[in-house]
Amino acid sequence: IQDADGLTDRTRNRFGMAFNAFGNWMVKQRRASHNPVRGWDKLSEPDSEYRRHLEPEEARRLIAAAEFGETLIGRTNRGRQQLEKHGTDLPEEVRWAITGHDRAVLYRVAIETGLRRGALERLTVLDFGLGSDPTVQVPATVGTKNPKTLIIPLKRETANILSEYFSD
């Protein structure tokens, strides 16, 4: 099953642990005489998830793909069911929508600044200084990893894109 479905070792181990717990429960409840998976061997997992930076060409391809990509829509469960059954949206059940161009701008700022999702979510237009020396100011927030105000320089090209983006 692991090979056919392309499961990672970590996922396989989590399924195995759940199945083992179920087998133990069956024995405890006297619904089975023994646990058939007792003593199963876990696969070795890496200590931590491997992360790496995007190479410049990968970043360019990501931004280009987003730019010409379709609008993504986040719906509530009820909104998803409505779309699946009737093929229509209930406006009150759409949580968010983001166009390809919006995603491309977001990815560009995220890649260039290295900011995490939460910091990006808190940014406002006023946090961007797009003059002769473009920067983004990340306000200090309680509970963040670095509770200091950061001033991060931006490339001129990114500042020009943001100026046009914010003009509306």
| Burial of residue 12 (number of CB atoms within 10 Å: 0-12, 13-18, 19+) | middle
| Burial of residue 101 (number of CB atoms within 10 Å: 0-12, 13-18, 19+) | middle
E strand segments, the chain: 72-75, 94-98, 128-129, 135-138, 150-153
Question: What are 124's two structure tokens?
Answer: 């406002």
Q: How confident is the model at residue 1 (pLDDT cuts 50, 70, 90)?
A: low
pTM score over 0.75: no
d(CA 110, CA 93): 28
Angle at 39 between CA 34 and CA 42, to 5 degrees: 140
> Could you give the count of Cα atoms lying within 13 Å of 45 in the half-sphere of its Cβ?
13
Q: How confident is the model at residue 144 (pLDDT cuts 50, 70, 90)?
A: low
Q: Over 70: is that where the pLDDT of 6 sits?
A: yes
Q: Which residues contact 56 (CB under 8 A, 6 or more apart)?
A: none
Q: Over 70: is that where the pLDDT of 48 sits?
A: no
- More confident site: 2 or 8: 8
Work out the number of other CB atoms within 10 angstroms of the CB of residue 62: 16
Q: How confident is the model at residue 112 (pLDDT cuts 50, 70, 90)?
A: very high
